[in-house]
Structure 1
Amino acid sequence: MKQKIRIGCGAGFSGDRLEPAVVLAEKGELDYLVLECLAERTIGLAQKRKLQDPTKGYDPLLERRIESLLPLLVQNNIRLITNMGAANPVAGAKKIVEIAQAQGLAVKVAAVYGDDVFAHISPETLATETNQPLSNSGELVSANAYMGVEGILNALEADAQIIITGRVADPSLFLAPMIHEFGWQTDNYDLMGKGTVIGHLLECAGHITGGYYADPIKKPVADMDKLGHPFADVSADGSAIISKVAGTGGVVNLQTAKEQLLYEVINPYEYYTPDVIADFTTVYLKEIGENQVQVTGGTGKAKPQTYKVSVGYKAFYLGEGEIAYAGASALERAHLAGDTLEKRLSPRFSDLRIDYLGNNAVHRTNFGHTETPYEIRLRVAAKASNPADAALIGEEVEALYTNGPAGGGGVRKYVNEVIGIVSTLIDRKDLKPQVSIF
């Protein structure tokens, strides 16, 4: 068994930048590269794409990421673990093999699936958030359970170099190679907790290297244009040192590590994952060098007997329109436009929102600031039950070109179908991870 491995995180969400993962694969001297590309709404949208085309449903950036990474993964003997399979890991695995063949490369690819539990979810199942039947939310389109390490471990034992999964809990993507390489027992909840802490620190990629931390006044971060993504040197005792590739931008320090440690953590004593209920209160972070933070501590207790299930439903169609006003009386003219559209649209739309971007759109107030902005952008949005009604919002905004007030320009209009998300629970015994090798 190894005593130390290096795991890098090349993506923290589906739309993350491609270059940092390439830098990690080329210069990071990694054993494993993880691409964490899945979120709650992401998988609902992926299910929609799969319904429209059964050969799709994997991450829309899969081809571009794999085409750039594959030669480096093979050349540097790096194993890739990613949840870019989204709603269709098998199709994603086949696409990776197709890309490898086109590049003249040979790789063993494993698809991990079984998270799709749509067939096992009743519309009468209660939603965790509302304690009401799921069907009360709207037409259900997806139900995916947050799996743990089991399927990934099976793929690692099968010697797969690339492992593509569906909905797997974010820290599990990082915990699995630790278990595999160090021979940890999955019922050693102390080690499961420690590994989950490390995975949680890495999972958002640029968060811990200063991206989301940066503030040019209070927390300046250098070279944001070439922000690097993190890697961790993990030891068999469950400790780690988090850093980034030399020469990349950003920073890894005590502050960035603390911010990420607390990210999305409601109860630090009990952080639920499919593999362990982790306790973050015993974690100790220490800055031991430039861009080096040592992580020790963390523990856990027995994993829950249920899996969390993310359920997607058709929520509504969103109609939007934007127009800009500039110069003297910009805000006053924007208010006149907004008042005009409110009178026209409010009889038809019960949930209408009018924002003055640059003045009070985020906080719904300007906190008493009396300066008149030189330019303002009006945004009008409303929910509708169908795309035709939603389109009326943008059409009315566009009509302001000639129907006034004066000086409006730069109109944009959109109609989007919004997938909503609620959660429920499913018994562990009702789900069995599956693995296919290509």
Structure 2
Amino acid sequence: MRTVRIGAGAGYSGDRIEPARELAEKGGLDYLVFECLAERTIALAQAARRADPGAGFDPLLADRMRAVLRPCAERRVRIVTNMGAANPSAAARETARIAAELGLSGLKVAAVTGDDVTAAIRGADLPLIERAGRTADVAATMVSANAYLGAAPIVAALAGGADVVVTGRVGDPAMFLAPLIHAFGWAMDDWVRLGRGTLVGHLLECAGQVTGGYFADPGCKDVPDLARLGFPLAEVDEAGDAVITKVEGSGGRVSRATCTEQLLYEVHDPARYLQPDVVADFSGVALREVGPDRVAVSGATGHARTETLKASIGYHDGFIGEGQISYAGAGALARARLARAIVEERFRLTGLEASELRFDLIGLDAVRRGPPVSAPSEPAEIRLRVAGRTATLRDARRIGNEVETLYTNGPAGGGGAWSSAREVLAVASTLVPRDWVTPAVAYEVAP
């Protein structure tokens, strides 16, 4: 039976680049997919585009393309990526420019647009998924609103001869599903195969997680050679069943356990995993080790897609100010506690207006709140961190400034003071009718 080989070149925007090049050169791939767009990432990209109309795509796009375009072109590996973020058209132009720079004349790059629904949502009364009883009243402070597109426009771009497809917001598994639909000619209402293809995409979308990266836990779940972690690939047949593996000799591990953890990742209901193309059902999935670093995946199915699409709304939600300072040596904990008390009192005396405040003693209670599991010995060093949410940038800066003043106005021996103040771009979700979204495909060709 014919198989298609798809590799995962990235699991997030700042991911390593070397494993993707390894896949391009040694993976025997048909397709290489870069998943680089988180919910908050596109809101930041939209803000960048507003400041510069030529910006708004992934900052590592040029580095990634320079690393893989030539080996992919030489081996006829086609690339699909959401590195277009808020500006797929500009990202496609940049990719074509880099291709020309590399001497890859004629390389065809598709830009998939249509996910931006900011204008439609701004005047709509839509309920927010995560905030019961609230509607999209964040519109007054909205920076962006992007609907999750499905596989169809990527399939169209591949059918149009694109060597590289650059999208904005699409469902993560859809980037892997689209090449399978294109290669095997699956119907867009073949819910069983679409469910199986969505499972393949879900297992690959976080790249190094399924080859043991996030899985690793020394002494409990040991994974070899993590510094050279290889990213995964799938060998997929026409029925949609697959084998998950990696490049031979690369670091990491593919096992039933690594695949099980990734299978459950961010899936609230395994029987109803809602995606733009299909409601996937993973409840009957079977994972079977069929060789070293080879796991056979089968048993997924699917049901008819929903009539709405999820949209992520990025909006301004105030500012966060933060300050940190360290104390070490004898009495470090007592001095850090005194420093915390001083800052708390300073906020009261100066009338700081903050909707949230948090005081952490890093090394004691910053991650695990509440009483310790066992009585700790006196720590050798403690770092005080103070953070708060404010309505103005001025008040956010005051938080870090008060911590810095501990250098000369607080307990002895403070060092390494640091402060920051930044705008908060929050994310909320809603559902929009499908007919609000009109995907489009345009092409750039390297001269």
Could you say which TM-score interval applies, normalised by the shorter chain?
A: over 0.9
User: Taking structure 1 as reference, are residues 136 and 177 closer, same or farther at Cα in structure 2, changes over 3 Å only?
Assistant: closer
Q: Which residue of 2 aligns with 1:111?
A: 111
Retained in 2: the 8 A contact 1:240–1:295? yes
Q: Which residue of 2 aligns with 1:62?
A: 61
Task: Spell out, residue by residue over 1:340-379, the C-alpha distance to the aligned partner (whole angstroms, 9 max, x if none).
Answer: 1011125412411111111111121333423111111111
Pairwise mapping of residues 15-94 of structure 1 onto structure 2 (< 5 A)? 15-94=14-93
Q: Which residue of 2 aligns with 1:434?
A: 440
Retained in 1: the 8 A contact 2:138–2:315? no
SS at match of 2:330: coil
User: Take 1:291 and 1:370, find their aligned partners in 2: how far apart are those partners?
Assistant: 41
User: Take 2:140 and 2:398, find their aligned partners in 1: how far apart are those partners?
Assistant: 23
* Equivalent AA in structure 2 for residue 323 of structure 1: I
Q: Which residue of 2 aligns with 1:407?
A: 413
Task: Spell out, residue by residue over 1:53-111, the C-alpha distance to the aligned partner (whole angstroms, 9 max, x if none).
Answer: 11011011111111111111112211000000000000100111111122221210000
SS at match of 2:283: helix
1:376 aligns with 2:382: yes
Which sits farther off after the overlay, 362-371 or 291-300? 362-371
User: Take 1:329 and 1:337, find their aligned partners in 2: how far apart are those partners?
Assistant: 12
Task: Spell out, residue by residue over 1:390-424, the C-alpha distance to the aligned partner (whole angstroms, 9 max, x if none).
Answer: 11111111111111211111112111211111111
Pairwise mapping of residues 344-423 of structure 1 onto structure 2 (< 5 A)? 344-346=346-348, 347-348=351-352, 349-365=354-370, 366-423=372-429
Q: Which residue of 2 aligns with 1:191?
A: 193
Q: Which residue of 2 aligns with 1:317?
A: 319
User: Take 2:305 and 2:355, find their aligned partners in 1: how far apart are those partners?
Assistant: 44
Give the deviation of 1:386 after TM superposition: 2.0
Retained in 2: the 8 A contact 1:228–1:244? yes
1:125 aligns with 2:126: yes
Retained in 2: the 8 A contact 1:38–1:83? yes
SS at match of 2:91: helix
SS at match of 1:23: helix
Give the deviation of 1:124 after TM superposition: 3.3
Retained in 1: the 8 A contact 2:126–2:431? no
User: Take 1:217 and 1:137, find their aligned partners in 2: how far apart are those partners?
Assistant: 49
What is the TM-score when the length of structure 1 is the normalising length?
A: 0.98
User: Take 2:140 and 2:16, find their aligned partners in 1: how far apart are those partners?
Assistant: 34
Q: Find 1:339's aligned residue among 338, 341, 345.
A: 341
User: Take 2:407 and 2:182, find their aligned partners in 1: how far apart are those partners?
Assistant: 63
User: Take 2:376 and 2:36, find their aligned partners in 1: how far apart are those partners?
Assistant: 43
User: Take 2:386 and 2:378, find their aligned partners in 1: how far apart are those partners?
Assistant: 21
* Equivalent AA in structure 1 for residue 86 of structure 2: A
Task: Spell out, residue by residue over 1:142-167, the C-alpha distance to the aligned partner (whole angstroms, 9 max, x if none).
Answer: 00000001110110000100000000
* Equivalent AA in structure 2 for residue 89 of structure 1: P
Give the deviation of 1:332 after TM superposition: 1.0
Give the deviation of 1:229 after TM superposition: 0.4
- RMSD value over aligned CA atoms? 1.2
Q: Which residue of 1 aligns with 2:145?
A: 143
Which sits farther off after the overlay, 78-87 or 124-133? 124-133
Which sits farther off after the overlay, 93-102 or 299-308? 93-102
Give the deviation of 1:137 after TM superposition: 7.6
* Equivalent AA in structure 2 for residue 23 of structure 1: E
* Equivalent AA in structure 1 for residue 110 of structure 2: A
Which sits farther off after the overlay, 386-395 or 29-38? 386-395
Q: Which residue of 1 aligns with 2:269?
A: 267
User: Take 1:188 and 1:37, find their aligned partners in 2: how far apart are those partners?
Assistant: 28
Identity of aligned residues (%): 51
* Equivalent AA in structure 2 for residue 212 of structure 1: Y
Which sits farther off after the overlay, 132-141 or 376-385? 132-141
Retained in 1: the 8 A contact 2:342–2:410? no
SS at match of 1:37: coil
* Equivalent AA in structure 2 for residue 125 of structure 1: L
Runs of at least 5 residues in structure 2 that lack an aligned partner in the other structure = none
User: Take 1:270 and 1:242, find their aligned partners in 2: how far apart are those partners?
Assistant: 23
User: Take 2:159 and 2:270, find their aligned partners in 1: how far apart are those partners?
Assistant: 32
User: Take 1:86 and 1:137, find their aligned partners in 2: how far apart are those partners?
Assistant: 20
Q: Which residue of 2 aligns with 1:165?
A: 167
User: Take 1:273 and 1:129, find their aligned partners in 2: how far apart are those partners?
Assistant: 17
Retained in 1: the 8 A contact 2:146–2:312? yes
Retained in 2: the 8 A contact 1:310–1:423? yes
Structure 1 stretches of 4+ with a deviation exceeding 3 A read none
User: Take 1:369 and 1:322, find their aligned partners in 2: how far apart are those partners?
Assistant: 25
The count of corresponding residues between Structure 1 and Structure 2 is 437
Retained in 1: the 8 A contact 2:224–2:252? yes
Runs of at least 5 residues in structure 1 that lack an aligned partner in the other structure = none
* Equivalent AA in structure 2 for residue 364 of structure 1: R
SS at match of 1:372: coil
User: Take 1:252 and 1:51, find their aligned partners in 2: how far apart are those partners?
Assistant: 42
Retained in 2: the 8 A contact 1:44–1:141? yes
Q: Find 1:230's aligned residue among 223, 229, 232.
A: 232
Retained in 2: the 8 A contact 1:125–1:133? yes
SS at match of 1:410: strand
SS at match of 1:261: helix
User: Take 1:174 and 1:34, find their aligned partners in 2: how far apart are those partners?
Assistant: 7
* Equivalent AA in structure 1 for residue 90 of structure 2: A
